[in-house]
Structure 1
């Protein structure tokens, strides 16, 4: 299901409380992958082919994390929906949780890191639907980050399914700084443990970024679609841009052109297929995002160009043909309640909000 998303100019009457809840009603740090204004829980629908039943989880999707804590070697996974920014060993047992409940362990590393997962112990019987799925990326409500359009692997190869009582020798390595373990325990005695290690990534492409951070997105002279996303409504400030100007492997030809906005018309006239999209969406898949602006060019001083994105996920997406050495530096700052009274570049409306027309 594609979540509805509308620009502000298209909305006749927008309940301000929807956006206010999005910017103030979540824990510090990660806000949560839930539609704006939702108070009914979120449908957790695994990937096609995983064969887990749809379950409902509450609004406390992500625990409060203000900063990355020191490494703790042992972690007990007690919550059905569990998130961590840490390395170490993790242990999960069905215990008192409802048998057959669909659960997820969401792992996030620094932007320039990959995530290695190794199972140390595994006892999840295949009978009665027991299954553990390691996902290359994050998934929620049928949407996935990174988008299938932007990921180097096809969707099927991003899933690793396991069940039974066995020793799993294979180590899993993510393609970005986000990975997920989805699982369903068929009995109260089912359990598994695994180790998480963060590995340096010399060419990060698709990034889940915590808000109030600055990041430079690059294409490394490659044909690729790369993005940086924050799971909050955010203000996007462009600090530096060099897109569609500097030929790959020939950086001596740089020259200041000034930033070009609304690039699909202007850059295509110049024969360019390299551009940056700024926008937002209710879900994880930024291919569904509502575009606030599209730009390219070269400028070390873009000025005060800021886009205010009133959506559950804020994204900056760099599309590169491979012919140019592209980069863009952005700062994503979580919106405050005061921001909603000013101009918003994009506002995403969840499906369960009814809009009134004058």
Structure 2
């Protein structure tokens, strides 16, 4: 009974959304305060290697082999967060399992990230429902099991109290032609979000306070200018800030639609064919800094919370995209309150 209660707390997010009991999540989920910082990828790891999985929280973002063996004294849930590059999806090969699936030894795969309060991607932005996104992993003899996520972020949660129980995983990121919801592996960079002409929501999440600059965008029918007047439209970009992973629990700081930046007509045409529309390098290289400032005047947005999100919402009638440059903010100010769950 003690184990079941303890195990339920860790997986409460999955169970609550599957069985539609949101109030349980609010009262039993642990606070996120200070925990998002643990998911920021370290720059000190080599490109590929083999090492032991750390418990209770580990962040794995390098291709390689990772293993875990219980010492028989563990009484807590271990969470392993997996991260690939923006144009990749997480894939793991699960092998060398040495435990029996029962009430004391359990391991769960989740397509995305969760920390007990919501999930990334949000349940409104993922092609699978919460039941399909989570799967219990049980050994099947010597046959390796393969799990692939829909984005560059996934996780495993497990508890293996039996001495000698363990497993090995191989992280093997795979390239994807249509990255949609992306967890930024670095605190600064440039990224293009697109709907590929479909009815889908795609986003970029940066788990740092961030300053975001719109480089180029074409969202919706208005191709003359970017505007904040985006009420009652199907296609728009929202800029969200919060201290959790789920966009449903974040504050909307700004909404944009229309066009801005150094628009190249080929961008709209190429997006119709399914290609990823991006900034044309030649136009950027030939533009002066004053041109860029004029084209993107007023398009700098500061998001001073632990998680910064640019989310493109599309109804499916337009080929939308937005290219943003994001930079880590070194401000110690946190504009968002931690939810009182």
1:85 maps to 2:61:
yes
State the superposition RMSD in angstroms: 2.8
Structure with higher helix content: 2
- Give 1:226 deviation, angstroms: 0.6
What is aligned with 1:106? 81
* Deviation (angstroms), 1:188: 2.3
Distance 1:337 1:88 in 2: 35
Q: CA deviation at 1:64?
A: 6.7
Compute the TM-score of the two structures, normalised by the length of structure 2. 0.76
| Higher alpha-carbon deviation: 161-170 or 181-190 | 161-170
For residues 119 and 164 of structure 1, the distance between their equivalents in structure 2, rounded to whole angstroms, comes to: 9
Which of 309, 312, 330 is residue 315 of structure 1 equivalent to? 309
2:236 is equivalent to residue 261 of structure 1: no
1:170 and 1:65 mapped to 2: Cα distance?
A: 26
- Given that residues 32 and 115 in structure 2 are in contact (C-alpha distance below 8 angstroms), is that contact kept between their aligned partners in structure 1? no
Matched residue SS, 1:129: coil
Asked if the contact 1:277/1:318 (under 8 Å) is kept, the reply is yes
Which residue of structure 2 aligns with residue 348 of structure 1? 336
Change in 2 beyond 3 A, CA 1:64/1:274: closer
What is the match of residue 148 of structure 1?
A: 123
CA contact (8 A) 1:136 1:179 kept: yes
Query: What does 1:193-208 align with in structure 2 at a 5 Å threshold?
Result: 193-208=168-183
* Structure 1 length-normalised TM: 0.73
Please list the CA deviations of residues 202-242 of structure 1 after superposition, one character each: whole Å capped at 9, or x if unmatched.
10000001321110101111110111011112112111110
Q: How many residues align?
A: 288
Cα deviation for residue 309 of structure 1 reads: 1.4
Select the residue among 97, 113, 132 that pairs with 2:107. Answer: 132
- Paired with 1:244 and 1:225, the residues of 2 have a C-alpha distance of 14
Structure 1 residues 182 and 155, CA gap change in structure 2 (3 angstroms): same
**What CA distance in whole angstroms lies between the structure 2 residues aligned with 1:121 and 1:57?**
33
Q: Structure 2 regions of 5+ residues with no counterpart?
A: 1-8, 19-27, 262-294
Instruction: Compare 154-163 and 58-67 and name the one that shifted more.
Output: 58-67
Q: Does 1:241 align with 2:243?
A: no
Greater strand share, structure number: 1
